[in-house]
Structure 1
Amino acid sequence: MPLKQLATLSVVDRPSTINREWGRRLLKVQVNVRDRDIASFVDEARARISDEIVLPDGYLIEWGGQFENLECSRQRLMIVVPLTLLLIFILLYFSLKRFSDVLILYTGIPLAAIGGVIMLYGRGIPFSVSAAIGFIALSGTAAVLLPMFSFAASSIVVENIDRHHALTVVIDGSNHKQVRLYGIDIPDED
């Protein structure tokens, strides 16, 4: 019996393989996003797909790859960042022993973050997980530097130096106290 009597044969374009995941057919679409952050791209794509495409029953769209990693990291950072800021606050309190001093110095951390956001915007860099980790490091650096500047400035004020000279001394450390990253040198008194 010839095959054409048993079946109708035709050539059509179809996927070369049928992938399955969790017992369901799977079709992946890959996209490389440039000059834009992934989160805003996915938000726009989701909005357009929900407006323009009606999926049949049993079909679903999942977003994965770097976007999925970004979402997982964002959830972790929602816990880690507040805990880090709280720990910085507690350490500043143990260091300075006065709540009012801690509040004054702690205001420098959001100001440092605002400067970081301005720099990201100015350079055209989208906010990412690595940028968020950089902001955590920036908060730690600000928390270390602010008490040093405060100490240097208050000791200059106590010694009755005019404001212009006090600012110069705090910034460049000339002939007085030297402020360095992660340390203070206080020369022996004459």
Structure 2
Amino acid sequence: MFNKISHFKLGIFYFFLMIILEMILPEWVGDENGIIENLQLLWLIAGFVYCLNARKSQFYKLCNDTKCLWSAGMIYFFLLFMREISWGRTFFTNPDGSIIQYSQMGLYGKLVHPIVTLLIIALVILLYKARVWLMLRTIKFPIKSFIMLLAFILASWVGEKANFTGFHGQVAEELAEFGAYMMMFLLLYDAGDQLKIKK
């Protein structure tokens, strides 16, 4: 379905489309829980589901249990998904319209940061058990697509932190994050396709 060349071309196409969209879209589309942010979540859900399904597929033996690799991927996309919705905070607002703080979420709010810490520790342990470095030596890593991922990450930072004429603000940041998540999924798909045992 996908290939490395189309990944890069898709990334380049969207990068220039992103710049045009940033100039013409109204500011409200970049709001929390807005259209762009909700579209971002679809890439993260797709990544999680891909890793979930990959646990049931046959892959080249890179470790004692290849399920470790895909379980780590599930945790990674779950963390990104929960980060985007601020672990549920974005669904609740104060009377003035501002998003509630973790301190206003009771016991759950207090547990969020410990849960994040535990999940990151689990992610690192799973990647170690999966010997992810062997995977990186096995696949042909699509450098151009990875560069596009870095370009979107940089564009997101520029949109949020810098006052760059022609590309700044919430819409720019959210559009760039959409591109970053898109490239993450495509890189994941490509890696899985290379590792899968062909029938």
**What TM-score, normalized by structure 1, do the two folds share?**
0.32
Higher strand share: 1
**What TM-score, normalized by structure 2, do the two folds share?**
0.30
Q: Quick check: which has more Rg, 1 or 2?
A: 1
